Chains A and B, each alone.
Chain A
Amino acid sequence: MKISDIVERVPWPFAPPGPVIGFDIGSRGSKGVLLTADEILTTFIPTGLYMQETADDLLARLLKQTGLRRRDIGFIVGTGYGRISLKYKDIPYQVVTEITCHAMGAHALNPRTRTIIDIGGQDSKAIKVDPATGKVVEFVMNDKCAAGTGRFLEKAAVLLGLELDELGGVALEATEPAPISSQCVVFAESEMVSLRARGERSGDQATRANIAAGIHFASARRVKTLLGRVGIEPDLVFTGGVANNVGMWHALEELIGAKFTRSPIDMIYAGALGAAVHAGKYHAAALQVGTAKPKVVAAVGSGRGKPASRTRSRDPRPAALVRIG
């Protein structure tokens, strides 16, 4: 799709000088975004056992969609749970955390973004963004616990005999959301079992809708706590795979008493888009110093990384994350 169709400001200040890619290798799903000077392409596959193979698969799909060749890609930025596994011999690349990438992805689409809720397969995060730059001001991440994450909703869908993508819609049909109080998936599961047992008939549609709604409210309460710690300032944007769940969208809006701003693309791609925007910046920086295909050494995440070289400090981009030499 054309970038000019989805962004407000043309020319778009985040357009890369040439084709670049962002990968968001999540715990459940992997997302790829290819940006050119005027186009944006997206692709999604479930994350496989080997992160690199998953990324290779994403790359092949994106190249096929565009007809570009591997050597046309100027830069790759990897983010998400599987980011540290990524390696390329022939394409310069870098890893950036999904927190930084979701902030940039949401900011690039809507520069008024100040607060982000990102709910993925195993994490939920609240991020406060500087609307002038797209940089992270503050973030809070859930504790190691599946409550308030996509995994919790997956589990709930199975118990209710629903597909994950049906769960949110069913929840909206609820007349009286079931009171599910547990903050813990395991206990919420047993609450669900006993609620289900109380249903008048097995498979009763209304009971199922009420339980589904109860599950979304239980998750949303958890996420609301995270939001409470960074504060809510509009525009408020919902990103990550769970942003596609209408039930969660509704439960969160109702609980926090604020509306999410709609985005022009599926926000499951926010992290990958942010990664691609960073890739564009790195690519532009590399072109500026005259090496179109520089050898890039990962600073953050390389294991013996060193932070920013002071000589690159004029560069407004996150220079510390990349060392070119």
Chain B
Amino acid sequence: MAKTQAARTRSAKRPAPSLSAPLLPIHALIEAEQKAFIETRDDVKRAGYFCAYTPPELLNAAGLRHARLFKAGTPEIVAEGERFTQSVFCDFSKSCIGGFDQTAGDPFYRAVDKVYNFHTCASMKRASEVIEQFVPTTLLNLPRNRGDAASRAFFREEIVHFRDDVAALAGRPITEDDVHEQILLFNKARRLLKKFSELRKRPYPPLSGKDFLELVRGYYYLPPQTLLAAYEKLYRKLSRVPDDGERPVRLMVSGSIMADGDRRLVELIEDEIGARVVVEDHCTGLKPFTHTVRETGDPFQALADGYLDQAPCARMKPLDDSVNLTGGLAQEYDVEGVVYVYLKFCACYGVTKLEFISHLQQLGIPVLEISSDYSSSDHGQLRTRVEAFIEVLTERRGDRVGDTVAAD
């Protein structure tokens, strides 16, 4: 019975996203890794985590199979999750819970031996408390005031707790040297991801927004050695693509998490309308790759500092850091407009939207605001909004180019 259910869940999985051809081998690599995560019979424990503030360095140092659990649930999974929450929780938190459901859930989530979560928002904290019923879970603390010395000392302690917990799960110690080695490895991956993103600064980017999201997906599912081997090859290939196409309308996607599988907005923008996402500031896009971790000194303090210094989530203080980062990226990548999208009921990005939107508008960048969930019943409305936004941007571009031509 359970087997039939699982088989059905797998077969009902979304079709592969429409990626550029050079990305397809990466996609295949990720699919194979996920299959192995579920099906390989061995003694290696599986660790899962939700949040980009979790250092995978420690999970990898322990020799665990590990992955970020950030899938957008099917309507069934979201409904399962909602049994444990109020309706006013975001679809991501519901997906995290529903994924562990014994019958309707996701086989990938059910393969996990232990879940780690950092307390970011109340919804995700509650989600990990619920998940504890299904699978052992450790909830760790993440200080808000990222600049304070006390926060850094405290967060170092949390990182050490995390190390101890992971070592117990793996049944082997994790030394400072192990951690140091992993910091070097993950920094390499982060730098590479950032370089990929920078290819999108070209007038005719050799990779789409969807392609970049796929690379980020790989970062959270693939072991770093596998990743580096495949990505370095791909980078050489993409960097040689000639930059001579027509300049597409350049957009930034800003806001809350864009889960694995939550591709309808980007597909609408890129496949249906023909504009390009050239940068995104969310924690499943470029955000985790704008910084690296210090490679010298106490590795636990380095992790604590590195993760607090990374591009901040909107739940961190001061919010200005987040807002300025968004505006800075929009300018750095020369975007013509920003689509600010947040999950309905998101207590981090929904309630801070005006700070982000007005900052961007002050910089002279038009913004389209969209609240989203994992249903698909509003495709027509979403399309009208995005298409009208692109019409407005194209008209602005016409005016600007027209002015230049007139001045000749």
Q: Please measure, in the bound complex, the distance between the C-alpha atom of A319 and the C-alpha atom of B387, giving whole angstroms.
A: 15
Tell whether A97 pairs with B391 under 8 Å between CB atoms, given A313-B401, A313-B402: yes
B365-393 residues at the A interface, CB under 8 angstroms? 371, 377-378, 380-381, 383-385, 387-388, 390-392
Query: Is A314 among interface residues, defined by CB-CB distance under 8 A?
Result: yes
Interface of chain A residues 272 through 325 with chain B (CB within 8 A): 299-310, 313-316, 318-321
Q: Which residue from chain B places its CB closest to the CB of A99 in the assembled complex?
A: B388
Instruction: Tell whether A320 pairs with B385 under 8 Å between CB atoms, given A100-B391, A136-B392, A143-B371.
Output: no
Q: How near does chain B come to A84, taking the closest CB pair, in angstroms?
A: 8
B275: chain A residues within 8 A (beta carbon):
307
Nearest CB of chain B from residue A199's CB, rounded to whole Å: 33
In the complex, how many angstroms separate the beta carbon of A325 from the nearest chain B beta carbon?
A: 13
Interface size on A, residues (CB 8 A): 36
- Tell yes or no: A62 within 8 A of B by CB: no
**Contact: A318 with B395, CB < 8 Å?**
yes
Q: Which A residues from 183 to 236 make CB contacts under 8 A with B?
A: none
Q: Are the CB atoms of B248 and A98 closer together than 8 Å?
A: no
A269 an interface residue at 8 Å Cβ cutoff? no
What residue of chain B has the Cβ atom nearest to residue A305's Cβ?
A: B274
Contacts A141-B381, A313-B398, A318-B398 known; A305 to B273 CB distance under 8 Å? Answer: yes
Closest A residue to B271 by CB, please name it: A303
Chain A: minimal CB distance from B371 (Å): 7
Chain A residues within an 8 Å CB radius of B390? 300
B381 and A304 contact, CB distance less than 8 A: no
Which A residues are CB-close (under 8 A) to B148? none
CB-CB under 8 A for A141 and B398, given A307-B275, A313-B405: no
Q: Does A61 contact B (CB under 8 A)?
A: no
A238 interface residue (CB < 8 Å to B): no
Q: A309-B246, A318-B398 are in contact. Are A136 and B388 (CB under 8 A)?
A: yes
Chain B residues with CB below 8 A from A97, complex form: 384, 387-388, 391
State A75–B385 Cα separation when bound (angstroms).
25
* Distance in angstroms between the alpha carbons of A254 and B96 in the assembled complex: 47
Q: List 5 A-B contacts (CB under 8 A).
A: A100-B388, A100-B392, A144-B377, A307-B247, A313-B398
Name A residues whose Cβ lies closer than 8 Å to a Cβ of B. 81, 84, 96-100, 122-123, 135-137, 139, 141, 143-144, 299-310, 313-316, 318-321
Given A300-B390, A308-B398, 17 further pairs, Cβ under 8 A = A84-B383, A96-B391, A97-B384, A100-B391, A136-B391, A300-B273, A300-B394, A301-B272, A303-B272, A307-B248, A307-B275, A308-B401, A313-B405, A318-B394, A318-B398, A319-B398, A320-B394
4 pairs of A and B residues whose beta carbons are closest in the complex: A305-B274, A320-B394, A99-B388, A144-B378
